[in-house]
Amino acid sequence: MIVKDEEATLGAVLDEAATICDELVIVDTGSTDLTVDIAKKHGARVIEFRWIDDFAAARNVSFDACLGDWILWLDADDRIPPDAQAGFAHLKVLLADRSDIDGVMIPYHRAFSQVDPSICTFSFDRERVLRRRAGLRWFGRVHEVISNPAERSMRWPDAWVEHRPPPESWERKVDRNLRILENAFAEGDRSPRTLFYLGNELRDHRRWGEALGIYREYVECSDVMWEKHAALLSMAQCAEALELVSEKVQYLFAAVSTDPTRAEAFVRLGRHFYDRQEWSRAIPFLTAATSLQRPTEGFVDDGAYEAAPWDFLAICLSHLDRYEEALEVTLKALLTSDDRQRLMDNLGFYLDQLKVRPSRAN
């Protein structure tokens, strides 16, 4: 890990990591709270590193200090729940006999349902477990990444890491990231990765117009399809905030054209027409979304592959008096929805409209 002032969360993640890791290595970048004491109390080896606004540099220092055959990296506000610990333990046994791979992609759960916090709503794979002797290096001042050839990589969905930061930490960290990226941009860094994440940070700060300008520059120079798809979705969000309705729709159609195998843009187009009560126009997009499989590459809105398209599709159908279809579609939404009571109420309404009542059991 690389850490700074993480006393609120560090102990918990170290407790969990210790169940599967043979050594704990902490690179501290200038903590003034009890972070270092907590790390040492948990048996971690602590290395001091002067912060230079470069996450990749700090992450490389942490990797250089590791002694094990394989490295699992984490952030201080990550968590590894018991089922995921079991998945990592199984992976650890498997890797002991593998010489054909240098990195393992592991799901990273980044956002969760407000109704049921155990349900992940946004996730993506990260290069989470890496062979030390492969000598792989991090790059990127912010949102650092390691490039490992696909033929030397595997995916392991049986383990995962959850990002569980305390609410008060978001503003401090996101301001820091924006500052670093703005400095890189001012110094002439126009790499696709810097542009993409600068656009994201500006979006998160609600600087909609500036974000749109950066994203436009990004899509002209990037050839990473999932990332371009994500940027176009963000461009649609910015356009909507600026009340540029026609531009919003154009960006969503561009996202569909960029990667028609991903459901997010289809769902958002469906939602656009749903919000305008144009039910017939919404249905084809929502229907298309229900036929798509969750991808394993890039950022994924898990809801777009689960209940959301079925839920909105059912309501559109009901507004067109297609109650039998709405009932069938709602049953499919129930399989993955965290809003079950509302859907059950909807089922009752559709049954009433069809004049159908389940027979009473004897």
Could you tell me if 7 and 34 are in contact, meaning their C-beta atoms sit under 8 angstroms apart?
yes
**pTM score above 0.85:** yes
pLDDT at residue 170, as a whole number: 66
Amino acid at site 134? A
**Which among 192, 213, 190 is positioned nearest to 203, based on CA atoms?**
213
> How, if at all, do strands 2-3 and 25-28 pair?
parallel
pLDDT at residue 359, as a whole number: 43
pLDDT at residue 252, as a whole number: 98
Cα 93 to Cα 52: distance, rounded to the nearest angstrom: 37
The distance of Cα 299 from the centroid of its chain, to the nearest Å, equals 5
Please, what sign has the CA dihedral across residues 35, 41, 42, 43? positive
Residue 125 falls in which region: left (phi positive, over 0), alpha (psi -120 to 50) or beta: beta
pLDDT at residue 171, as a whole number: 63
Please, what sign has the CA dihedral across residues 257, 262, 265, 266? positive
> How, if at all, do strands 25-28 and 78-79 pair?
unpaired
Mean pLDDT, range 307-311, rounded to an integer: 97
Cα 136 to Cα 147: distance, rounded to the nearest angstrom: 7
Tell me the per-residue pLDDT of 198-240, one tens digit each, with 9 for 90 and over. Answer: 999 999 999 999 999 999 999 999 999 999 999 999 999 999 9
Could you tell me if 153 and 102 are in contact, meaning their C-beta atoms sit under 8 angstroms apart?
yes
Can you list the domains of the chain with their CATH numbers?
2-163 (3.90.550.10), 170-353 (1.25.40.10)
Tell me the per-residue pLDDT of 325-336, one tens digit each, with 9 for 90 and over. Answer: 999 999 999 999
Helix (H, G, I), strand (E, B) or coil at 108: strand
Could you tell me if 312 and 270 are in contact, meaning their C-beta atoms sit under 8 angstroms apart?
yes
Mean pLDDT, range 343-358, rounded to an integer: 85
Please, what sign has the CA dihedral across residues 226, 230, 233, 235? negative
Cα 362 to Cα 358: distance, rounded to the nearest angstrom: 12
Cα 120 to Cα 114: distance, rounded to the nearest angstrom: 10
Query: What DSSP designation does 360 have?
Result: P
Mean pLDDT, range 48-67, rounded to an integer: 96
Tell me the per-residue pLDDT of 144-195, one tens digit each, with 9 for 90 and over. Answer: 999 899 999 999 999 999 999 987 776 667 689 999 999 999 999 999 999 9
Mean pLDDT of the chain: 94
